[in-house]
Structure 1
């Protein structure tokens, strides 16, 4: 097993070990009955005391994640290994130093019919037929498009139209030469991390945070410092306290209808974050995946990038979620030498994103189709949000939430006695899934949360699935 320990962190070493083992168990990277290293072996490997490892193992045992067999060792709690497991031809792989410490996507690998785990739009609300027709026309006109690599920076026509769109709808003055097309926002986050960070660098994230972004930073060996949110977004007072003690390289924020909480960061808060970046010389990743999906005319403030004068903000605008997840198209806006660094890393990462999917977006951005589509999509998702709020509101005992002003998600705080992962296992038996809150935290949260994405199901299935979810939560509260 590979652990990433930060001995300078305020989090005790035994707790860091505990959290990383729990993440492996919950992510499916450690199986029932698997034996943990001995106290001495793990202590020697990590260069810590045996007492530290013993405390971590004791925590795991107390929380029910492991059991101890006298004279044999410590094992992941679960059923005894079958003969087939004991002779598993792939068992040797467990001894390797795997870089994947955690992944939110392992939690719901087996899809359920009533799926609240994915922040993805119901397919019939997307212009898939139009996009398919456009791609067919392009291929009939120029089949050689499939025989060539797209430009590393991205299709020039798309960059020009994307710059116009960002000017019209985000108030950003963008030179197309400062845009880099990525295969979705997720690749953009990974590209920035690979370009700017080295193991041990300090990265500040919101708490809770988009889980897949946390995955990127953790699995690259970063020192993550979570900063809690209030109703306006990440708290700058706490951020400044951290900056005075640490030297962060990067801050990741999701300011417009934050994933998972739905929080909308105020303009004043955006300006304050940029002032701190200028004062302490760190970059900000501004992830704008949900800013177009606002309800009740709660139009988000201008992006942080709008106020950026010195190249501190790297702005990511995703189009996959609102047009077609299968296209995987996003724009990255960066200025200064960092753009050339990002370009170079993108070149050896994938030699350029697929050209045909970039061309497919052009008809939408060149006409008023995008504006009309987004208006309809906002209306449909607002109805789904209202349905979700109405049904979840029936859970009056200890379940709380804030009504999101946009985005795809409802963030539920559950009673203290409910384990989100155990709740998920119960829900799966009724063909329901959601995202357990711990996937959105760097460390195990003190309180239980779950994220319910209301965007993926049809109106009818949404109601049925939510009623099933409420029933599971109520049953958990009575057992």
Structure 2
């Protein structure tokens, strides 16, 4: 088995390694049951860090190509056997290939049974049944979809599941969930949503106008523009387009501006769905170092001079995942550098309304720049409910027109029902009262967690102290791996998100993200205690 890595390639080495192994498995060069080299041995052979091999193996495990057996090694999985599917059978009821079916010694190369990705998956049985022909998925999927790093999604999904199924150590149906990036269901303003929904659909304002314009209803755009002016951003309805969630805005902006090979600068750790969008566009993603105050803008000019980015994507206020807020001086530097190098800024401000009321309120970048270089994104999903998939973009009218044209190929417009609900929420400041009470509750939860971290964590662990939003970013003691800690905590019913999910290079195993607002308030201290006890036992 001949494997190589190109250190000068734009593709991470672990992905190069995973791709070569995947191709060898699919082609039959590595037969089912073949034992792969141990991680340390292969790392030595390739002269790479063992983490590179671990990541490559993990990606192939997530994709169903290999599996490990304790004390035996890592093996190529057999293809799932063909089954005759009766009417009403679900995919979940079809058993996957099992690692227990694998031999325990390395097998000589031999013709492999075709995998699910191959055109001919299974031959007919002795009864004369015709062969089952499956589509050759690995060939048919587009380059766009293949550039997605699906193991990131799988890793995030695993982190959000409890190992024990119990709350805080085995009692109750739910884990203490610091992982999921959405609010606690108990914080959803059900009474307010019920009231505004009744008002929205009993109103006759929209009679004779059943369809929304692509940019959204004019009245909603006017109200969003007023909301932005209250935040210090000079704009009117022409600068606003209503979105089906702010992630749609990232996708549309990438479609509008990013060509394959274009450079996008981001914080070294950032919102991983944004990274997925940039990767799918075949952009060159460069991470800018961060510290306790967000992006190191003192380094930004050097990055722009070297890489000439098309976009700078940033979360300057209550950052996801770190919880940090960029000071006013850095914001001025960021805007100034972007203007001089004529690169656009995408300001993702999903959490900006959740200010805890301490210190000066952060001014959006869009409020510091009026020539069109900043495209601002926000959403109702973090302040009302994640089920209300409604957001907005504020940008130069030329940008709004281009995004609207591109949107015709996606969804035409945001749900009319959602827009009506948002209209009622924004009228007479109704949402403002809800957000203020929510921010006060979140501030209390933050204080509970910070106090618990002081009491239960090792002395050499560090964490951020957010002034708003959802997240605390913790730096683990030296030698502790986030994934190892996650495994211990999941077994006791506590989950969090490992830092590698958010890292541009996918190699950060020294940080964890804690969502302060997702668990029940009564579970916060217990959850931190479990993490601390697990750390002290490592």
TM class, shorter-length = 0.7 to 0.9
What's the CA shift for 1:241? 0.6
CA distance 1:412–1:145, change in 2 (3 Å): farther
Tell me, what secondary structure is at the counterpart of 2:432? Answer: helix
Measure, in 2, the Cα distance between the counterparts of 1:39 and 1:285: 45
**Could you list the per-position Cα deviations for residues 150-169 of structure 1 after superposition, in whole angstroms to 9, with x for gaps in the alignment?**
3210121111111111112x
User: Quick check: which one's helix share is greater?
Assistant: 1
2:313 aligns to what? Answer: 252
Instruction: Check conservation: 2:67, 2:76, Cα contact below 8 A.
Output: no
Q: Which moved more, 1:440-449 or 1:104-113?
A: 104-113
1:121 aligns with 2:169: no
Pick aligned residue for 2:485 from 412, 419, 423:
423
Measure, in 1, the Cα distance between the counterparts of 2:156 and 2:412: 31
Measure, in 1, the Cα distance between the counterparts of 2:267 and 2:509: 16
1:100 aligns to what? Answer: 148
What's the CA shift for 1:296? 4.6
Give RMSD over aligned pairs: 3.3
1:78 aligns with 2:68: yes
Instruction: Check conservation: 1:257, 1:264, Cα contact below 8 A.
Output: yes
What's the CA shift for 1:274? 0.9
1:175 aligns with 2:236: yes
TM alignment of 1:27-106, pairs within 5 A: 35=25, 59=49, 63-64=53-54, 76=66, 78-79=68-69, 80=75, 85=80, 90-92=116-118, 95-96=138-139, 98-102=146-150, 104-106=152-154
1:132 aligns with 2:128: no
2:246 aligns to what? Answer: 185
Q: Which moved more, 1:97-106 or 1:447-456?
A: 97-106
Instruction: Check conservation: 1:399, 1:413, Cα contact below 8 A.
Output: yes
1:345 aligns to what? Answer: 406
Tell me, what secondary structure is at the counterpart of 2:220? Answer: helix
CA distance 1:15–1:179, change in 2 (3 Å): closer
**Could you list the per-position Cα deviations for residues 54-74 of structure 1 after superposition, in whole angstroms to 9, with x for gaps in the alignment?**
97685458754578xxxxxxx
Measure, in 2, the Cα distance between the counterparts of 1:21 and 1:144: 57
**Could you list the per-position Cα deviations for residues 390-415 of structure 1 after superposition, in whole angstroms to 9, with x for gaps in the alignment?**
22222124321121121111101112
Measure, in 2, the Cα distance between the counterparts of 1:397 and 1:467: 14
**Could you list the per-position Cα deviations for residues 186-241 of structure 1 after superposition, in whole angstroms to 9, with x for gaps in the alignment?**
11111111111111110000112122211211222110111011333212232111
CA distance 1:56–1:35, change in 2 (3 Å): farther
1:109 aligns to what? Answer: 157
TM alignment of 1:462-473, pairs within 5 A: 462-473=524-535
What's the CA shift for 1:144? 9.4
Instruction: Check conservation: 2:321, 2:502, Cα contact below 8 A.
Output: yes
What's the CA shift for 1:349? 1.5
Pick aligned residue for 1:226 from 287, 297, 300:
287
TM alignment of 1:384-395, pairs within 5 A: 384-393=445-454, 394-395=456-457
2:354 aligns to what? Answer: 293
Aligned length: 441
Instruction: Check conservation: 1:102, 1:218, Cα contact below 8 A.
Output: no
1:412 aligns with 2:471: no
Measure, in 1, the Cα distance between the counterparts of 2:208 and 2:493: 40
**Could you list the per-position Cα deviations for residues 74-111 of structure 1 after superposition, in whole angstroms to 9, with x for gaps in the alignment?**
x8561346667466674446734523224644224254
Measure, in 2, the Cα distance between the counterparts of 1:365 and 1:289: 17
Q: Which moved more, 1:104-113 or 1:414-423?
A: 104-113
1:17 aligns to what? Answer: 13
1:44 aligns to what? Answer: none
CA distance 1:246–1:460, change in 2 (3 Å): same
The structure, 1 or 2, with the larger RCO (C-alpha pairs under 8 Å, 6+ apart) is: 1
Instruction: Check conservation: 1:195, 1:342, Cα contact below 8 A.
Output: yes
Tell me, what secondary structure is at the counterpart of 1:368? Answer: helix
Measure, in 2, the Cα distance between the counterparts of 1:289 and 1:368: 19
2:219 aligns to what? Answer: 157
Measure, in 2, the Cα distance between the counterparts of 1:200 and 1:230: 28
1:242 aligns to what? Answer: 303
What's the CA shift for 1:303? 1.1
Measure, in 1, the Cα distance between the counterparts of 2:16 and 2:316: 28
Tell me, what secondary structure is at the counterpart of 1:322? Answer: coil
Tell me, what secondary structure is at the counterpart of 2:12? Answer: helix
**TM-score where L is the length of structure 2:** 0.74
Q: Which moved more, 1:177-186 or 1:418-427?
A: 418-427
CA distance 1:224–1:99, change in 2 (3 Å): closer
Structure 1: gaps (5+ residues) = 25-29, 41-52, 68-74
TM alignment of 1:197-346, pairs within 5 A: 197-346=258-407
Q: Which moved more, 1:173-182 or 1:278-287?
A: 173-182
Measure, in 1, the Cα distance between the counterparts of 2:508 and 2:500: 10
